[in-house]
Amino acid sequence: MANLHAAEIAQQAAAANYQRTIQQAFRDTSDALAGRQSQQANYVQSEGLIAVREKAYTMTQLSVQAGDRSRFDCLETENALLDARKALTESRLQLLLQEIQLNQSLGGDASSG
């Protein structure tokens, strides 16, 4: 009788642990999905900034060629463009890392390609 009771308690403990594990997996997946969505929005925003900076750089180059602006102005807009490209690269990296986290939360192997 004591063995039966001990087996029932062990089964209940295993079921509770399993339930906690499942709940944690759902939380991890939900967090990873939310992070991915947020990072995707940041990436799209960075792409938009690149387009704006490229247009500003092109316009500044034309103004310099026309003699309306200095070469320094062109360098400033070029630096802003380079900063935007760096931000896009960093955003892409974060997006890829978020994809890895999502894959891991869904049971994927981080070492597989």
- Note the pLDDT tens digit of each residue in 50-97: 999 999 999 999 999 999 999 999 999 999 999 999 999 999 999 999
Q: What percent of the chain has pLDDT over 70?
A: 96
Report yes or no: 31 and 55 within 8 Å, Cβ to Cβ.
Answer: no
Residue 113 has pLDDT above 80, yes or no: no
In the chain, the number of structural domains is: 1
Burial, 99: exposed, middle or buried (Cβ in 10 Å; 0-12, 13-18, 19+)? middle
113 in any annotated domain: no
User: Which pLDDT value is given to residue 108?
Assistant: 75
User: Which pLDDT value is given to residue 112?
Assistant: 54
54 in any annotated domain: yes
Residue 110 has pLDDT above 70, yes or no: no
User: Which pLDDT value is given to residue 107?
Assistant: 82
The amino acid present at 110, given as its one-letter code, is: A
Contacts of 78 (CB under 8 A, 6+ apart): 57
pTM metric for this prediction: 0.73
Q: How many CA atoms lie within 13 A of 91 on its CB side?
A: 20
**How far apart are alpha carbons 88 and 44 in whole angstroms?**
9
Residue 10 has pLDDT above 80, yes or no: yes
110 in any annotated domain: no
Write the DSSP symbol of residue 1: -
49 in any annotated domain: yes
* Helix, coil or strand: residue 109: coil
Domain that holds residue 59: 2-105
Residue 111 has pLDDT above 70, yes or no: no
Contacts of 85 (CB under 8 A, 6+ apart): 50
